Amino acid sequence: MPPVQSTLRTADGLDLAAEHHLRPACRGVVAFVHGYAEHTGRYGGLLAALDAAGYASHLLDLRGHGRSGGVRGHVLRFEEYLADLDLFLDRIEQVQPRQPGPRLPRILVGHSLGGLIALRYVLHRSAGSAGPAGPAAFDALAVVSPFLQPTMEVPWVKVGLAAVAAQLSPTLLIKSDIEARWLSSDPAVVAAYEADPLVFKTLNPRWFFEARRAQQEVLERAGEIRLPAMVQLGAADPIADPEAGRRLFERLGSADKRLEVYPGLLHEILNEVERARVIGDLVAWLDAHTAHDPAP
């Protein structure tokens, strides 16, 4: 079945692109949030595996990313991502076919920045945390290489200059220091990333400070997250510090939680040389947290 495309209009007038991979019968519904400077079109392997395992998948290009509108990578406030996710989840409720029996399990999966957004969303919106229940509560949460802290320390001079720029010119874009070879050990993945017209090579200082504020809150309040949770990390990740990911896991208030750390893998473990193993572990965890088998 070909994916269904949809467009969401935000309160501040942006059009966001969403994609819905539906199934006539499925065992669960996955909402996926991608990372910074990229887009949903880079996850074909994950989508194929989810479909084969019986899951419906819904993906959103974040504001300022991919086919969505907005200044590339920019947010004035991190909470804009949460409001956009509210719209996205409402749309999932509209397009996801109803099946006989109990409500299908819903799982939120986020990579890198998407992992940070997913964690912050659960803190503020989910019935699985101390925050108020959102429009569509999730039954489980998985974060992949969550961006909770940069692996490399940012020089204080750069931080100071970025702080000034973030206040005086919030939409300013500067050259990103991230290199494509830090994402994956697979040369084909690196080459595709470098040639992708929807990938951008800039950084928005305002976004940097908003993300840092969200990182601090998530790590401080991780104990309030009580949903079943999976954390997957690349031990050699040069972008999102895997030690911060370990600290998150230790602090999670979830009674049901699982940590997988992959030696030698870089940042995009879903697109790494051992991606079949990483995706297989994620799908197996999803299977253990969904009660509905797809119809034959």
Per-residue pLDDT for 10 more than 70?
yes
pLDDT of residue 156: 47
Which structural domains are found in the chain, ordered by start? 4-288 (3.40.50.1820)
The alpha carbon dihedral of 61, 63, 66, 69 has a sign of: positive
Asked whether residue 42 carries a pLDDT value surpassing 60, the answer given is: yes
d(CA 281, CA 102): 26
Give the pLDDT of residue 24: 83
Does the annotation mark 126 as catalytic?
Answer: no
If you average pLDDT over residues 280-285, what whole number do you get?
A: 98
Would you say residue 131 has pLDDT above 50? no
pLDDT, position 192: 98
Report the chain's terminal Cα–Cα distance, integer Å. Answer: 16
Average pLDDT over every residue of 135-161: 75
Q: pLDDT band for 171, please (50, 70, 90 cuts).
A: confident
Residue of 20, 34, 39, 267 marked catalytic: 267
Q: Work out the average pLDDT over 36-60.
A: 97
Cα diameter, the chain: 60
pTM: 0.93
Across 112-126, 168-182, 202-216, least confident range: 168-182
Phi-psi sector, 273: left (phi>0), alpha (psi -120 to 50), beta: alpha
Average confidence score pLDDT of the chain: 90
Higher model confidence: residue 291 or residue 132?
A: 291
Residues 21, 237, 254, 289: which is the catalytic one?
Answer: 237
State yes or no: pLDDT of 295 exceeds 90: no
Whole-number CA gyration radius for the chain = 18
State residue 103's pLDDT score: 83
Q: Sorting pLDDT into bands at 50, 70 and 90, what band is 1?
A: confident
∠ CA(282), CA(284), CA(290), 5° rounding? 100
Average pLDDT of the segment spanning 44-56: 97
Cα–Cα distance list, 31 to 50, 79, 87, 96, 141 (Å):
11, 18, 12, 11, 10
| pLDDT for position 151 | 85
Percent of the chain, pLDDT > 90?
Answer: 77
267 is catalytic: yes
- pLDDT exceeds 90 at position 130: no
Least Cα distance to 162 among 195, 217, 211 occurs for: 211
Question: What local confidence, expressed as pLDDT, does residue 12 receive?
Answer: 96
Q: What is the DSSP string of 8-69?
A: EE-TTS-EEEEEEE--SS-SEEEEEE--TT--GGG-HHHHHHHHHHTEEEEEEPPTTSTTS-
For residue 294, pLDDT beyond 90:
no
Given 68, 112, 184, 254, which residue is catalytic? 112
- Residue 237 catalytic? yes
Q: Report the pLDDT averaged over residues 276-281.
A: 98
Tokens standing for 246? 């370990």
Tell me, what DSSP letter sits at residue 155? P
**DSSP class of residue 253?**
-
Separation between Cα atoms, residue 97 and residue 122, nearest integer Å: 24
- Rounded to the nearest 10 degrees, the angle between the axes of helix 156-168 and helix 205-221 is 110
pLDDT at 136: 43
- In this predicted structure, the answer to whether residue 135 has a pLDDT above a threshold of 50 is no
